[in-house]
Structure 1
Amino acid sequence: MLDNLTQRLAKVVKTMRGEARLTESNTAEMLREVRLALLEADVALPAVREFIAKVKEKALGEEVIGSLTPGQALVGVVQRELASLMGADLGPEASQLNFATQPPAIILMAGLQGAGKTTTVGKLAKYLRETTKKKVLTVSADVYRPAAIGQLETVTGQAGADFFPSQATDKPVDIALAALDYAKKHHHEVLIVDTAGRLGIDQAMMDEIRAVHAAIKPIETLFVVDAMLGQDAINTAKAFSDALPLTGVVLTKLDGDSRGGAALSVRHITGKPIKFAGVAEKLDGLEAFDPSRMANRILGMGDILALVEEARKGVDMAAAEGLANKIKGGGKFDLNDFKAQLSQMKKMGGLTSLLDKLPAQMQAAAGNANMDQAEKQVRRMEGIINSMTPQERAKPELIKATRKRRIAAGAGVQVQEVNRMLSQFEQMQSMMKKLKGGGMMKMMRNMKGMLPGGMR
């Protein structure tokens, strides 16, 4: 995510930190590097100019010059202004969805075709069900794109929300009003309306979405934009902002964009907060957007809070406690337990997702490792364990040469792969033995203490 920008800015940040004294010349040189990094990342020129002007003003102010560590103070200024550029100055409430209305709270999704609106509707439905426990209904008012209605029905079903069926022969305004009536009668708390996109902005498209907006009066009108659009995202954002009273922005495909200029430009152009970011293709790949934490990640400072949140969502604490009790009671760590640990890691987004949230220095330390290869290795290990009998998983010591050949054939790998996996399992088993004397329970309690609000 935003790899090129992060690498460039992380170097500048390192240089800044090392400065014992800031002068106009070395400050200007650093700001030139920051400016180039932002322009290379496709950030809109007006946004870059405003950002650099604000940083320069504060860099030469008392807060930085009078600091015992001016280089570090300047890093702090850059971080705060970068967060402000993405909406931190609007306050934490601005990035929250507004539900202060008579139910159902209507959310209208707008954007170009291909931006990922329909998938985002499914992700948002799942997010709201899991985080706010609200009863969600979705409807498609896209009567132009073949299979759009069916696609929304599928993702809504996967998200566990309710779907209101519509026909391609119906008018978008009629569809939206019928869904609203249904939502009221069936006590839905949220109605998400997916609208038609076009490959480009045209008058007919804008007239239609304005008519839908006027008919249902949504409390939230979210502009969905593909982060990979670069400079095009700016023109699109302006057109939608002029046509509709937008309340927020959803950035999609942020994980696939190494430049990420849209993330820094769209808020500046629309004046509206970025409320969510799509960070993976899966339905749980939607994150509430936090400008300060995103600024940390862009500057190579990592996002440890996000890591902790991933742990909270992905780690089954009951299962972890069960494993701790098993080891403490003298039970052996077996291949079923090993497979469960691999699954937990996948639930946390896999190795690449975890690495992305670490500070730049730690990412650099792991830079020589091929993350894609490591992810494949994890999947291969799961396949090998799946090829074993229940008895072999419970008693790995039974696995000798003939069994290894059978397991390798079943998993479609070489026997050496089976040996390698068993060796890694034995290392983990050895580590678990060391935690036997209550050490694991202590470790789990420490983990609980790290999580926001604790995990009881």
Structure 2
Amino acid sequence: MFENLQERLGKTLKNISGRGRLTEDNIKDTLREVRMAFLEADVALPVVREFVKQVKERAVGVEVTKSLSPGQVFIKIVREELEKAMGEANEELSLNAQPPAVVMMAGLQGAGKTTSVGKLAKFLKERKKKSVLVVSADVYRPAAIKQLETLATEVDVEFFPSDISQKPVDIATAAISHAKKKFIDVVLVDTAGRLHVDSDMMDEIKALHHAINPIETLFVVDAMTGQDAANTAKAFDEALPLTGVILTKTDGDARGGAALSIRHITGKPIKFMGVGERTDALEPFHPDRIASRILGMGDVLSLIEEVEMKVDKEQAAKVAQKVFKGDGFTLDDFADQLKQMKNMGGMMSMLDKLPGMQNIPDAVKGQMGDKTFIQMEAIISSMTKKERARPEIIKGSRKKRIAAGSGTQVQEINKLLKQFTQMQKMMKKMKGKGGMQKMMRGMKGMLPPGMMGGGGPKF
């Protein structure tokens, strides 16, 4: 998300960051560019006006005139105003209620509501250690009920059955009653979506809300609809007392207009964002971290949290121990590393959270996608145990066999073996004193310009 805005703002703010002092004139030019960047990102006009007004008031005031580095202070102001526009801090779900805490999900059809119920159930179970029951009150789409049942099985939470002959209020109240008897912590209620906001839908969802009195009413909205997402959220907020928003499909949204518009237009916080199709692709929304990403400063905190949750530390420790002992780094170890990265959403998901990553050329980004990872795994899986342990024996006829088995070309086998050899050399440098520094220096030569310096991560 925010690729377009990040690129445009990056160029604009770079021009001002080196200035010795700021005048109303050069701020005016920069703010015009910032305004255009926001409008192109499909941010709602009232939000753009307010943002530009606040930055201008602060930038031409005391804060800048007293600063030793006015350009940097200007960027700091932009960052703080971005945070303010999106809500300043992450607002967690309020689940401090007599169990079960009832969470109702609302939204238009196709926004990813049912999928978000499954993701949220997994989040609450694994990260908040809550017992969860999910129920579908969508009596218009039998497929939605079946989809939720499948998701409940996948994330290992309890599913309360329902069918299209029942009334939504009866389904939800029966599920809550069942949860009380079983001492379940949280009930997630999925509701019916429509193709657009209509009075019948609103009347039905109001009645359901009144009957179950949820502690949280979350509006699920597609980020790719831009500022329309904020307008739809406002229409729902006028009918229901929304407590927060889940922004879905942010991985497919290069603009970011919805994230910057929703809080201002509805007054409601974005609590989560969906960052992919997997059931673990739901992240708490941290405005400060998102502001850093927009300005190309990365989001190292989220990356650390992801590593903590998703990396198999035991396996990583085994590989490290093996390397330090000098036992070598094999293709099996390489395959394990690929799996770990895939668990974290792939290489691009990780790189997006590092500072300076907007400098990576598109050609390089294209080599880091999920498709490349899947292909590499397929190639290694097509090798024999002996070949994985001793890749130097992989010559002409073996390469042809591996290519046929993995559905790839011999060139791809050569490319993988070359990358593996480079990684092996780096691992050898880790042995002995100062090994990590040596490895990082070696790695610097393998990466594109700008990634290990000039705004990129430093080692």
**Offset at residue 146 of structure 1 (A):** 3.9
Residues 322 and 178 of structure 1: CA distance in aligned 2, closer, same or farther (over 3 Å)? same
**Offset at residue 99 of structure 1 (A):** 1.2
Q: Does 1:114 align with 2:114?
A: no
The number of residues matched between the two structures is 439
Q: Which amino acid aligns with 2:100?
A: P
Q: Does 1:218 align with 2:214?
A: yes
Of all paired residues, the percent bearing the same amino acid is 60
SS state at 1:147 partner: helix
Counterpart pick for 1:263 among 242, 259, 264: 259
**1:403 is matched with which residue?**
398
**Offset at residue 370 of structure 1 (A):** 4.0
Question: Contact 2:7 / 2:358 at 8 angstroms: preserved in 1?
Answer: no
**2:419 is matched with which residue?**
424
Question: Contact 1:138 / 1:163 at 8 angstroms: preserved in 2?
Answer: yes
Residues in 2 aligned to 1:46 and 1:339: alpha-carbon distance in whole angstroms: 50
Q: Which amino acid aligns with 1:403?
A: R
SS state at 1:369 partner: helix
Residues 308 and 373 of structure 1: CA distance in aligned 2, closer, same or farther (over 3 Å)? closer
Residues in 2 aligned to 1:382 and 1:438: alpha-carbon distance in whole angstroms: 33
Q: Does 1:345 align with 2:341?
A: yes
Q: Does 1:288 align with 2:289?
A: no
**1:450 is matched with which residue?**
none
Question: Contact 1:279 / 1:285 at 8 angstroms: preserved in 2?
Answer: yes
Residues in 1 aligned to 2:48 and 2:410: alpha-carbon distance in whole angstroms: 56
Residues 385 and 76 of structure 1: CA distance in aligned 2, closer, same or farther (over 3 Å)? same
Residues in 1 aligned to 2:336 and 2:276: alpha-carbon distance in whole angstroms: 22
Residues in 2 aligned to 1:262 and 1:41: alpha-carbon distance in whole angstroms: 9
Q: Deviations over 1:338-359 (max 9, x none)?
A: 1111111212211221232233
**2:190 is matched with which residue?**
194
Q: Which runs of 5+ in 2 are unaligned?
A: 440-459
Q: Which runs of 5+ in 1 are unaligned?
A: 445-456
**1:369 is matched with which residue?**
364
TM-score computed with the length of structure 2 as normaliser? 0.91
Question: Contact 1:355 / 1:363 at 8 angstroms: preserved in 2?
Answer: no
Counterpart pick for 1:331 among 323, 327, 330: 327
SS state at 2:220 partner: strand
Residues in 2 aligned to 1:400 and 1:38: alpha-carbon distance in whole angstroms: 54
SS state at 2:102 partner: strand
SS state at 2:364 partner: coil
Residues 278 and 414 of structure 1: CA distance in aligned 2, closer, same or farther (over 3 Å)? same
Residues 362 and 3 of structure 1: CA distance in aligned 2, closer, same or farther (over 3 Å)? closer
Comparing 336-345 and 412-421, the one that deviates more:
412-421
**1:453 is matched with which residue?**
none
**1:37 is matched with which residue?**
37
Residues 390 and 426 of structure 1: CA distance in aligned 2, closer, same or farther (over 3 Å)? same
Q: Deviations over 1:15-37 (max 9, x none)?
A: 22122111111111111111111
**Offset at residue 440 of structure 1 (A):** 6.9
Residues 363 and 36 of structure 1: CA distance in aligned 2, closer, same or farther (over 3 Å)? closer
**1:452 is matched with which residue?**
none
Question: Contact 1:141 / 1:193 at 8 angstroms: preserved in 2?
Answer: yes
**1:279 is matched with which residue?**
275
CA RMSD of superposed structures (Å): 2.0
Counterpart pick for 1:177 among 173, 179, 195: 173
TM-score computed with the length of structure 1 as normaliser? 0.92
Q: Does 1:83 align with 2:78?
A: no
Residues 122 and 19 of structure 1: CA distance in aligned 2, closer, same or farther (over 3 Å)? same
Residues in 1 aligned to 2:438 and 2:179: alpha-carbon distance in whole angstroms: 47
SS state at 2:273 partner: strand
Q: Deviations over 1:271-330 (max 9, x none)?
A: 111100111111111110001111111122221222222222232211111112223334
Question: Contact 2:113 / 2:220 at 8 angstroms: preserved in 1?
Answer: yes
Residues 321 and 64 of structure 1: CA distance in aligned 2, closer, same or farther (over 3 Å)? same
Residues in 2 aligned to 1:328 and 1:167: alpha-carbon distance in whole angstroms: 59
**2:145 is matched with which residue?**
149
Residues in 1 aligned to 2:98 and 2:272: alpha-carbon distance in whole angstroms: 24
SS state at 1:225 partner: strand
Off by >4 Å, runs of 4+ in structure 1: 438-444
**2:46 is matched with which residue?**
46
Counterpart pick for 1:250 among 224, 246, 256: 246
Residues in 1 aligned to 2:225 and 2:82: alpha-carbon distance in whole angstroms: 20
**Offset at residue 182 of structure 1 (A):** 0.9
Question: Contact 1:352 / 1:371 at 8 angstroms: preserved in 2?
Answer: no
Q: Deviations over 1:232-266 (max 9, x none)?
A: 22321111111111111111111111222111111
Q: Does 1:134 align with 2:130?
A: yes
Residues in 1 aligned to 2:192 and 2:435: alpha-carbon distance in whole angstroms: 53
**Offset at residue 101 of structure 1 (A):** 0.5
Residues in 2 aligned to 1:428 and 1:84: alpha-carbon distance in whole angstroms: 43
Residues in 2 aligned to 1:441 and 1:424: alpha-carbon distance in whole angstroms: 19
Residues in 2 aligned to 1:400 and 1:36: alpha-carbon distance in whole angstroms: 56
Residues in 2 aligned to 1:387 and 1:151: alpha-carbon distance in whole angstroms: 34
**1:413 is matched with which residue?**
408
**Offset at residue 131 of structure 1 (A):** 0.6
Counterpart pick for 1:390 among 385, 388, 396: 385
**1:61 is matched with which residue?**
61
Residues in 2 aligned to 1:264 and 1:419: alpha-carbon distance in whole angstroms: 45
**1:451 is matched with which residue?**
none
Comparing 251-260 and 391-400, the one that deviates more:
391-400
Q: Deviations over 1:59-104 (max 9, x none)?
A: 111111211111111111111011101011xx55xx1111110111
**Offset at residue 214 of structure 1 (A):** 1.0
Comparing 227-236 and 340-349, the one that deviates more:
227-236
Residues in 1 aligned to 2:325 and 2:77: alpha-carbon distance in whole angstroms: 53
